[in-house]
Every structure is written in C-alpha cells, then in structure tokens.
Amino acid sequence: MTAVLEVSNLRKTFGGIVAVDGVSFEVRAGEILGIIGPNGSGKSTLFNCVLGQLQPSAGEVRIDDKLTTGMRPCDLNRLGVSRTFQLLQVFPQLSVRDNLILAGQEHQGSMVSRLFGRADAGMSHAAGQMVDFFRLSHLADEPAGSLSFGQQKLLDAAMAFMAGPRLVLLDEPAGGVNLTMLGHLRERLHAYHAERSATFVVIEHQMEFVMALCTRVLVLAEGRLIAEGRPQDIRRDPTVIDAYLGH
C-alpha cells in the first residue's frame, strides 16, 4: 500500500521546550491510524505542523509523495487534506447549512467565478446530503452556535468531510461528547470511511473509541514516538502503561 502521508524527523520547539522531537511515521492509504499519548505529549502540535498551522523547526512532511512542509493550511486543504479541531470550531452565527457550504465553496471554481456565480457556489445539494448523513437535517437552518456541544462536534466533522477529502486528521473527535452521540459519531466515521475509502488519522484519549475505530495506533510521549502496533497490543505494552502512569 502506498503512503498517503509521510512524516520524517519532524521536530518543533517553542523556545527551550521541545514539543515534538524527531517523529517519523507513515499513513497508508485507506487506514485509520490512531495517535494516543498523555496530555502535553505533542499530539496536537504534530497535527498543527503537518497541516501547516505551525511551521516545523525541522523535518519533512509529504502528502502523496509531494513535499508539503510549510504549505499554508488553505492550500493543503485544497489538495484534499482536511481536519477537525479539539475545541469547538464552527461559525456560530452562520446556519448549519451555511457552515457546510462554506466548508466546500472554496473548492469550487476561482475566487472571481465565486463572486459572480451562485450564492451557494452550487453546494446546497451536497450540504443537504451531509446534514442527512450526520442526521442534523432538523437543525439545518439553525445558527450553528445554538446547537449542543455534541451536535457541534458532529457538525465540525461534517465540515471536514464536505469537500470530499482523501486524508482527514481528527483531533480528539470524542472529547466531551456523551456516549450516545459518541456511538453515532463513530458509526458516521466508519460509514464515511467505507463509502469514500478515505484515510483517517485520529488523536484520541478515549481508549474504547480508539479500539473500535483504529486499525493501527502510534503512542507519543514527551514529543517522541514510543510505541506502534495494533490497538489490542498497545493496550498491554508496558512502555505505554508506564508513559501514562508516570515514572
């Protein structure tokens, strides 16, 4: 299988603090890779470096064999790389439908053609399908800010999928979501994965969620990769248990 994402020797420092310390890994097409690790182990920083939100201090990121280190998030997004955020990141005053249209509109035509084209950039139909898929149809015209936390999490995921990405990085999709909503979210992620044969990378604390969703797991601790393997093996790995429980 070919690598969709290849990270080599990635390093990120903030002043004297080394947040990510020479991390290398590959993500193969179609897999769901989990990244776990204690708080402060550098998971989100790693994501931000891969996605261009932060500039890595050293190392390389390749997507489909193309060097993308230092590319802007908006350009990466248009290459088919999408993400969700750990904290809520929807546009509260826009309706659910407009949030979704916005998530897809920049992939349609050019900036000039969008100005003179249709108000919905031709995305209404796709947005309608997406609210159905994530079972948010009854809320489509409500402002996103009026949704519950779990519903906003679903919307956040739906937005990440709106442009039909091939690679999606999900930053703690289960964080703060109640159990019913969590099962629903997992089912939707599985369904999307099966339908589009997309590739996922998931940062998560919720072990049950990781076990049920991921095919392979990486473990980060203090900015370094300390283990890699199948979820059931990782759970019993003494180095991993040690990293979580402290020294």
Partner 1 sequence: MTRLGGIVVAVAAVAAVAAPFFLKPFGIFLISTWAVLTIAAIGLNLTLGYAGQISLAQGAFVGIGAYTVALLTLAGVPFFVAFIAAGLLCFAIGWVLGYPALRVQHHYLAFVTLAFSTLVFLVLRNEEWLTNGIYGIAGTLRPTLFGWPMGGARHFYFLCLGVLAALSLATWWILRSPWGRAFVALRENPIRALSLGLDTRRYTLMAFAIGSSLGGLSGALYAPLVQFIEPNSFTLGLSFNLLLMVIVGGSGHFFGPFVGALIAVLLPEWLRVTEGYYLIVYAAAVMVMMAVCPTGVLGLIERAARMLTGRRKAAGTQALTEGAGT
Q: Which residues bind partner 1 (CB under 8 A)?
A: 51, 53, 72-74, 77-78, 82-83, 85, 87-94, 98, 101-103, 105-108, 111, 114-117, 119-121, 142-149, 152, 159, 162-163, 175-176
Q: What does the block give as tokens for 242?
A: 């040690």
Q: Which is nearer to partner 1, 88 or 207 (CB)?
A: 88
When the beta carbons of 148 and 215 are compared against partner 1, the nearer one is 148
Q: What is the distance of C-alpha 30 from the center of its chain?
A: 14
In angstroms, what is the minimal distance from the CB of 41 to partner 1?
19
Residue 44, helix vs strand vs coil: helix
Minimum CB–partner distance for residue 106 and partner 1 (Å): 4
Nearer to partner 1, 130 or 159 (CB): 159
Nearest approach, Cβ of 39 to partner 1 (angstroms)? 13
**Least gap, CB of 80 to partner 1 (angstroms):** 10
Cα separation values, 38 from 50, 178, 194, 198, 224, Å: 20, 21, 30, 27, 12
DSSP state of 220: E
Strands (DSSP E) found in the chain: 3-14, 17-28, 32-36, 58-63, 66-67, 81-84, 167-171, 199-203, 216-221, 224-229
Letter string b/e over residues 3-16, b meaning 16 or more CB atoms within 10 A of that residue's CB: bbbbbeebbbeeee
Name the minimum Å distance from CB 121 to partner 1.
5
Instruction: Give me the residues paired with residue 229 across strands.
Output: 217
Q: How far is the CB of 74 from partner 1 (least distance, A)?
A: 5
At closest approach, how far in Å is the CB of 83 from partner 1?
A: 5
Nearest to partner 1 of 81, 221 (CB atom): 81
The packing angle between helices 96-105 and 149-161, to 10°, is 30
What the block records as the tokens of 237 is 């790995």
Task: Using the minimum distance from each CB to partner 1, give the nearer residue, 70 or 145.
Answer: 145
CA 48, CA 83: separation in Å to the nearest integer?
A: 10
Task: State which residue, 70 or 92, has the beta carbon closest to partner 1.
Answer: 92
In this complex, which beta carbon is closest to partner 1, that of residue 18 or of residue 54?
54
